[in-house]
Structure 1
Amino acid sequence: MKKKIFAVAAAGAMTAATAVPALALENEFHGMFRVFGTISNYGSTNASGSTIAGVLTPDLSSDAPTRGYMEQRARLMYIAKANDDLKLVTHFEIDSRWGDNAYNSNNTTRNNGGAIGADQTNLETKNVYLDFNIPSTPLNFKVGIQPWVDSYGGILVNADMAGALATAKYAGFTNSLGWFRFNEDAGSLPGKATRDFMILDTKYNLSKDIRIGGSYYLLTDDRAASDNTYTHMIGVNADMKFDPVTVGAFGMYQFGDTPSTVNSDLSAFLVGTTAKAKVGIGTVKLAALYVSGEQNANTDSSAFQPINSESSFYAADMQIMLRNKWNVNNDRSLVQNISNFYGAFVGYDANITDKLFANVNAGFGFAAQTAGKGTAAEPDSSYRGTELNAEVGYKLFDNMTVMAQGAYFILGDFYQKTKGGVDNNLDDPYQARLMVNYAF
């Protein structure tokens, strides 16, 4: 009898001990659902396209047919919050194009399940990381697969990545130190052949209206084809508010080894600026950007090196020329990885009523360098073209918006003509969208 009493008491104690943290846990659920229809005469499958003027370009052609498709994306976030200093963040994504695949018929890739029958294995892990503060210190740590964007508009990298990031805020400073592992060679021992990214970021508030910053990033690659390359990046940035104008400026210099390329030295840079001002019922936006390109075809490189396909500059608010903020899977901008590019952008965001809004934007793009210099294949101009786009949206509910978008890109002679007199006669790309976006 005593043994039974002790066993029951022990079981009760264990149940109580495990129930306390469960009862104290705060569960948060967030997410979004987006569905839109697109009509367009250009585009490409993931990573494919045409090589025009020496660069990979989404499929442009003469007599380009108009196509229409529907895409949807759901993002689901669950946060397990133990207290104000400790939480686990998880973030998942489900993408599909209507009519793509069903019944797990393409289980080697993601972004499927929109064909009749559905039933596709299609749940992507975007983020899983622990977010915690060290009590009585200004230190915060994020450890795991997490989102991270550089301090330069996302031009270098804007992606989800696995690593550890420590941030300290004190006396007007915000300092960050991080390490991320990008890749390992398939088939190698874990940690044997890797591509790693280290960051050191600092920002300082000179006043409530002026903040300055500096960065040092290091990309190392000792995978089989890279023979230990080291790419260094040094940058400076600033954000300043002169009511009613807000101005941003930034610049970065890359040197050392060209990433993943043996015996190749790198010397490349980017500079940019943004500005916003409240005017009338909306905001005027300005932006300018210069990202260096390849000056000659020797073993060394002067072309800025973004991180794979994770480059963006959303401040431009382009839909065709540069990666757009609403992209899902079938979007491919004319300049997908931002390098060998300079341009200027202007736009206006109008709040017509508390529910109705609209914006218009124009962008003018150029190539910093042209391929095939001195030959008949050299593009006739560095002018890539001009984009005009617009968007109108209505908040049907506080957390649901319906939007109509349209964009047209006037191709320049960088794409259309060569010094040798060849005329590609490509159709100007365009697209139109109708979108429903729900966030919770």
Structure 2
Amino acid sequence: MKQTWRWFGPNDLVSIDDICQAGAHGVVSALHHVPSGAVWTPDEIAKRHAEIAVMKDGGSSGLTWDVVESLPVSEAIKRQVGPWRDHIAAYKQSLRNLADSGIRIVCYNFMPVLDWTRTHLNWRLSTGATCMRFDLTDFVAFDLFILKRDGAADDYPKAVVEAAKIRFSEMGAPRRAELERTVAFGLPGSVENLSLDDLRALLATYADIGADTLRANLVAFLEEVVPVARDLGIRMCCHPDDPPFALLGLPRIMSTEADYTHIMNAVDLPENGITLCSGSLGVHPENDLPGMMARLGDRVHFIHLRNTKRETEGLPCSFHEAEHLGGDTNMVDLIEQILREEKRRKAEGRADWNIPMRPDHGHDILDDLNRKGQPGYPAIGRLKGLAELRGVMTALSARMDQTDDQGGTAK
């Protein structure tokens, strides 16, 4: 795997110098300041390439911009309303401009209104480290008593609703305000948190859009853009829902292996692929990540390696970000399947055999606790995760090479 690192641009408190010192070989980035539906211009793309290429002292970083995450899909495209056709035309032009700059992998998602969603951005662990967390009771309390969404109580088991009533009654004003800000933090394209009225208005636009309609709109989007990506040599890869279950009455359509199989069959081109995020998919108890990699690996173009730990049974559920080797996903088995897929591709002569991976999320530890960087993206916590993953990769690669040299058969 090519070891990469997500960078949010010049305002990211984790610098290009830090990424170099972490030993990453490439960068995952995006033009977050460009509104959804607008064209990413050659000048803006070139500027980001240049920012990645240099260290603070002006020396070469040796890093390249390898993956776009994300080229956002506008709400208009997702709902097929207003200027959605113009937005698709802009998306295609952005792909052309990215291809001209050398970019060959573009990650996107099709989550409506909310991007990733949490109730805590710095939940304290017993070690003193902090992590992101989704507490179902807190989220239901937000939905019922802060957002006050019509019909919200019908979406949850009675026991959860009763627990949320008690939780909300015990919340002080500071925690209620923090919860409101945290849930709204995942809204795409927003630097500032949206107001509750803004969120209610966005949710209302999906009142008549169910999972089948949203899935059909995703397929229609892919039918337009994937042939263009194919002509340009770009591989598109959809990120799964985070978390992988319905929230606030919104449909979720990229949460399981069956969801991915559907869109790959609907637009059956190699460029229509997967961002395998072990953290997002791992929250769903039915998702077997090593098995998914073994079965769908041919279309995996980009990998996020992180781990989550479910705290409650069933779906929806509470969960938190675990250590990279310590959650519900068997990371060793998953990495082994990834390495086997790479060996298979290399034997076939595929140019894309070396799949880019980044250590996703991480605990805030040591100086991360003072740095207060982008939530979920600490410097030292991700470095720790990358080191752990790198160790597993190195050990498995050596074992697999030895087995091959001895003429054995890999399991």
TM-score if structure 1 supplies the norm length?
0.32
Q: Which structure is higher in RCO with an 8 Å CA cutoff and minimum separation 6? A: 2
* Higher-helix-fraction structure: 2
